[in-house]
Chains A and B, each alone.
Chain A
Amino acid sequence: MDTLTITTIVLIGGIAVGIALGLPVAVAMGLPSALAIVILLGWEGAALTSAQRVFSGSNSFALLAIPFFILAGGLMTNGGIASRLIDLAQVLAGRLPASLAQTTVVANTMFGAVSGASVASAAAVGTVLSPPMKKNGYDPAFSAAVNAAASPAGMLIPPSNTFIVYSLVSGTSIAALFMAGIGPGLLWAAVCFVMVAFYARKHPELRSTYRPTLRQALVVFLRALPALALILVVIGGILVGLFTATESAVIAVLYAFVLGLVQRTLPIRELPKVLLDAAKTTSIVMLLIGVSGILAWVLSYSRIPETISKSLLGFTDNPAIILAIIMVVLLLAGTIMDPTPAILIFTPIFLPVVVSVGVDPIHFGAMMVFNMCLGNISPPIGNNLFVAARVGNVKIEPVIGRLMPFFWALCIALLIVTYVPELSTWIPTQLGFISK
């Protein structure tokens, strides 16, 4: 066997066995990569290169957006912005059939536009809306399923930490990716909306009696206005090129902090805990990113992606079939893996393949993140599913049953995102982020 074959076996076999045995994914990814470098460069060189890679992998100003968006999200959930957005969602969706379920969808979508992640959103929305939903005769398993299904939209709708991670490994622009996420994110929300509407037709008893007066609606809107202004500052600032993603993320932190203080909804005593939790979440992601630098080095040195690319292209050069194969692989990986490690491992392998058959890297990012969102709600391991069930006080099994119709409908939506590139690329192209 030549060195390259041995390297490939050590790398792929090591990562697969390591993940299966429950090693921290960062180590399962990092050690086989480091050992592959041992084969290529010897122990001394491997230790040095790996350490260098871990350090430089996280030494990036663009990545600083991640801790800030995480911190801003923590400040917002603790500081009452979330509950104001939920109030507004209730006014907006109040007259629809099964209005509280639709409120869940709208609230999760709006929360996605102020925060970079989605689990916090599921927790906040579920905590507030589960009790009234139960009182109004909703099946708690259904309530939790709607919340689980709707929450990942936040990973697609900008700002999105998941897109920042993809931007890093793919070398694409964060601003372009953020804009590319809007279409798929709204499609995600629309699918949930339609599925709830179908459910509402079968359950006419779920009509709400909530009829806010114009005055009440106005008050709710005014209370939510500062949170809505945050969307404008963060997204707008990036859009017109006033701020980088990192700068707009730090502005989101300050804004959420000051707003929490002014509105007296943010307990100062909670601040150290909010900061520490955000630091830990950041570190988990950053260790993965740093270590994926070792993997990236091995992959580019050993040309493994080219080999995979060639064998896939030897099988077919039809972009539609190649994308279908990749989407199925990612969907399977996503059911057991978190988005960040999956993106860090699979992007360097699959991106060269799809680019060679003419797929835009921005479009590929959008379908990849959409795919990972599906992984977050699918059993056996889906954090949004777990959290929605927990805050809804229901067991996971009945929620899964209620969730599956959403899951299959969203799989169809994934087909649309995959095969209708304009859904992702139209907005960034119009804004000049993708040159034709």
Chain B
Amino acid sequence: MDTNQDAEANPREETGQDGAAAEPERIYKTFTALELIRTVTDRVLGLLCIVLFVVLVIVVTWQVISRTVLNDPAPWTEEASRFTFVVLALLGAALVFSERGHIAVELLVSKFPRTAQLAVAVAVELIVIFFALLVFVVGGYRVAENAWDQQISTLPVTVGQVYMVLPLVGILIIFYSIYHLIAVLLNGERPVPSVEETAEVI
């Protein structure tokens, strides 16, 4: 959340040596557009996570009731809850990338001088993009393709269709990384994300 405030408090003016006065203005406008897309994406993902979580609670509750009270276990509940959970967890993971909230050890980097921190921040985002591209987008698309016709026995979808969440999440992660790359370089966002000290650890 505080990254937004940083961005607003610090709309960076100087961009470089060229001295082209229109250039920073244009970059800043593009960035505002990016910011808007990010806000909308965050909202949509957040809403999706809440809805999926409620669905998850309802499905597993129904599983317990049907098994223990009605003595007639509903077999679809297990698969439905597992797949809902994977989709929820992956979409949530993408959302956490928006906040740079994934667990990381910043102990060493936080002691670096600022230029080194910037270099590391750029490297980190580029590595995240490469990882998301390789595993989520390319790998995810291939597994989805392979399993496209594989029917889930108790649900009206195929395994491949559920797998499509992988490339989708990959694209979202890449978008967020590009956003942070630009924000760190041009918009004064902190190169080392501030540690969420109150985060629950398990």
Interface on A for B, CB 8 Å cutoff? 18-28, 30-31, 34, 43-44, 46-52, 54-55, 58-61, 63-64, 66-68, 70-71, 73, 116-120, 123, 155, 161-162, 165, 242-243, 246-247, 250-251, 253-254, 272, 275-276, 278-288, 290, 294, 336-341, 376, 380-381, 383-384, 386-387, 390
CA separation between A420 and B64, bound complex, in Å? 38
Interface of B is mostly: helix
Q: Are A27 and B127 in touch, CB under 8 angstroms? A: yes
Residue from B60, B123, B139 with most neighbouring chain A CB atoms (10 Å): B139
Q: How many A-B residue pairs have CB under 8 A?
A: 228
Question: Is B53 interfacial (CB-CB < 8 Å)?
Answer: yes
Which residues does chain B contribute within 8 Å of A162, judged by CB atoms?
Answer: 202
Q: Are A250 and B53 in touch, CB under 8 angstroms? A: no
Residue from B56, B95, B123 with most neighbouring chain A CB atoms (10 Å): B56
Give the contacting residue for B202; candidates A22, A50, A52, A339; CB below 8 A: A339
CA separation between A133 and B140, bound complex, in Å? 54
Q: Are A338 and B103 in touch, CB under 8 angstroms? A: yes
Which residues does chain B contribute within 8 Å of A282, judged by CB atoms?
Answer: 88-89, 92
Hey, what's the 0/1 contact readout for B133-175 against A, CB within 8 Å counting as 1?
A: 0111011101100100000000000000001001000000000
Q: Are B106 and A22 in touch, CB under 8 angstroms? A: yes
Interface on B for A, CB 8 Å cutoff? 46, 49-50, 52-54, 56-57, 60-61, 63-64, 68, 78, 81-83, 85-86, 88-93, 95-97, 101-109, 120, 123-124, 127-128, 130-131, 134-136, 138-140, 142-143, 146, 163, 166, 192, 197-202
Interface of A is mostly: helix
Closest Cβ–Cβ distance, residue B142 to chain A (whole Å):
5
Q: Are A47 and B139 in touch, CB under 8 angstroms? A: yes
CA separation between A279 and B94, bound complex, in Å? 12
Q: Are A34 and B92 in touch, CB under 8 angstroms? A: no
Which residues does chain B contribute within 8 Å of A284, judged by CB atoms?
Answer: 93, 96, 101-103, 199
Q: Are B103 and A341 in touch, CB under 8 angstroms? A: yes
CA separation between A243 and B143, bound complex, in Å? 34
